[in-house]
Amino acid sequence: MAFMTVSMRSRYDVVVVGGGHNGLTAAAYAARGGRSVLLLERADHVGGAAVSARPFAGTDARLSRYSYLVSLLPRQVIEELGLPITLKRRRWSSYTPVGDGGLLVDSQDDAATRASFHRLTGSDADFEAWARFYAMTAEVARRLAPTLTEPLLPRSAVRDLVVDGVGEEAWRALFEEPLGEVLRRTFADDVVRGIAATDGLIGTFADLDEPSLRQNRCFLYHVIGNGTGDWDVPVGGMGAVSGALRDAALAAGATIVTSATVTAVDPGGPGASGAEVTWTDGDGRTRGVTAGHVLAGCAPAELDRLLGGHAPASADHPEGAQLKVNMLLTRLPRLRDDVDPVAAFSGTLHVHESLSQLQAAHAQAAAGHIPDLPPSEIYCHTLTDRTILGPALAGTDAQTITLFGLHMPARLFRADPDGARDQALRATLASLDSVLAEPIEDLLALDADGAPCLEVRTPVDLEGDVGLPGGHIFHRDLAWPFAESGDGSGGGSGDGAGGAAAAGSEAVRWGVATDHPRVLLAGAGARRGGGVSGIPGRAAAMAALSG
């Protein structure tokens, strides 16, 4: 299927490779800037990992199949593109079952949250530490979020921004010391430490004490979205977000072609009329097009492959580390605690995610074993937004459940994808059942064929489904959202901050440069990439429009 608004031509000002949400964002901005734009997408639909789908036969439930919540998409992007999307705030932040009790964090009731902390820990100390810690991250978010839609600031300027407004301790805690050390110093209770730690592990396979600080970078992106760090529910599902971006790109005049597999990118040297993009259409015909700029919405590793002889061998081998399980239940499960299941499942329900449990699971996975007690977190979209259910389901007690399992790296699934997937699912469901008052499988709805409404995807599955290298949901490990010393010496697809051939360019300023001036990163692998944000897509378009 193709969305064509003009007849095909042999040259475009901008060719976007990949129609995920960032590629669509780049196309919309570039077209609104008066450029002729062609977007090429391998699948028969756009959206990439930000899509809604009906995965269960004959069942009218449109689940956010891969990505599922929104935090990093700037309000500025929504307003500039006129996106008709609605994001709903969740009242309850999280619930963590522990034995026959648990910890409920109610973002609208500090007294109730304090009481819950007291029941779990025996004092108010960790509640007060929690309030101080998240007041600190909130102020960092308020100061840092506006910089994400501007050219990169140098590290020194961001440090001044944080230290002047929040203090030296905040800079050290978030940017210099391993997250594990910070959380042990801040909180006394192992469960409380773990709840905070999970934001450093979503999409990142890391020991919490790693000196690389990739866990800190992941944590930072999880707490700075839109200056609040809130993770909101997209009404209509994630497909509503990518659909709005598609419509914005088309309305601006971009040409979108699906079932179009890009096979090569020739960046063009000095004196060339442009870059050359070769692709195969849905009928198997080889096509070629010249581009003033190529905006790569694909992963840097995929761009390296497309560049072929124009890129050096990359030492970057991304590896995702999550198990995604989608379910449709006939009703919410009962809990061992007397907490209201609506409160427990509306926010994030943490399963075996104390700090020590997270570290033990990481050690097992790093040693090549599926964790005995897999940590995971769960959220129920339909408690906030029932528009994703058809009429036959909307009036029932049916609920959709998203489970995101941590510390399930791609290496565990390479040798035996099907067997390892089954083993990981069994271990994950057993881990979940251990904190519920009844087995989750007893509550699974049945599809039209009588099969349980349950879908599981590993990193290897995501690699095949949506082209995520190693199943890495951020395309590769996240980078700090500022320019660092040494930027400008990128590899074939750049380091997301600069490339040798483009040093001092607009692409470097926006954090989207590669070694080739006409080829820019526009996806999650750019600096300030990761998550459903549109930030790197917008940045690539800004650089192309300025170049």
Q: Give the H or E element holding residue 214.
A: helix 214-223
How high is the pLDDT of residue 486? Answer: 59
Contact assessment for residue 238 and residue 532, using Cβ atoms and an 8 Å cutoff: yes
Predicted pLDDT of residue 547:
72
Q: Cα-atom radius of gyration of the chain, to the nearest Å?
A: 23
State how far the Cα of 61 lies from the Cα of 252, in Å rounded to an integer: 31
> Cβ distance 71 to 221 under 8 Å?
no
pLDDT in tens, 144-192: 999 999 999 999 999 999 999 999 999 999 999 999 999 999 999 999 9
Q: For residue 465, what are the CA distances in angstroms to 43, 75, 218, 469, 471?
A: 9, 29, 24, 11, 9
Q: Are 409 and 459 in contact (CB under 8 A)?
A: yes
Predicted model pTM: 0.95
Instruction: Report the distance separating Cα 386 and Cα 63, nearest Å.
Output: 11
pLDDT, tens digit, for every residue of 349-362?
A: 999 999 999 999 99
Domains of the chain listed by start with CATH number: 2-51+76-83+236-317+473-546 (3.50.50.60), 123-230 (no CATH)
**Cβ 74 vs Cβ 534: under 8 Å:** yes
- State the Cα–Cα distance between residues 68 and 320, nearest whole angstrom: 17
Q: Under 8 Å CB-to-CB from 331, ≥6 apart: which residues? A: 397, 398, 399, 443
DSSP three-state, residue 34: coil
For residue 231, which phi and psi values (nearest 5 degrees)? -110, 115
Q: What is the pLDDT of residue 504?
A: 57
pLDDT, position 500: 44
In order along its 547 residues, the chain shows pLDDT tens digits of 445 444 578 999 999 999 999 999 999 999 999 999 999 999 999 999 999 999 999 999 999 999 999 999 999 999 999 999 999 999 999 999 999 999 999 999 999 999 999 999 999 999 999 999 999 999 999 999 999 999 999 999 999 999 999 999 999 999 999 999 999 999 999 999 999 999 999 999 999 999 999 999 999 999 999 999 999 999 999 999 999 999 999 999 999 999 999 999 999 988 888 999 999 999 999 999 999 999 999 999 999 999 997 766 555 689 999 999 999 999 999 999 999 999 999 999 999 999 999 999 999 999 999 999 999 999 999 999 999 999 999 999 999 999 999 999 999 999 999 999 999 999 999 999 999 999 999 999 999 999 999 999 999 999 999 999 999 999 999 999 999 975 543 335 655 444 444 445 999 999 999 999 999 999 999 999 999 999 999 999 999 999 7
**Residues 81/30, Cβ–Cβ less than 8 Å:** no
d(CA 511, CA 158): 15
pLDDT tens, 112-140?
A: 999 999 999 999 999 999 999 999 999 99
Q: Could you give the CA distance from residue 238 to residue 228 in angstroms, rounded to a whole number?
A: 20
In the sheet that holds 399-405, the strands lie side by side as 101-106, 92-98, 348-351, 376-379, 399-405, 323-329, 454-457
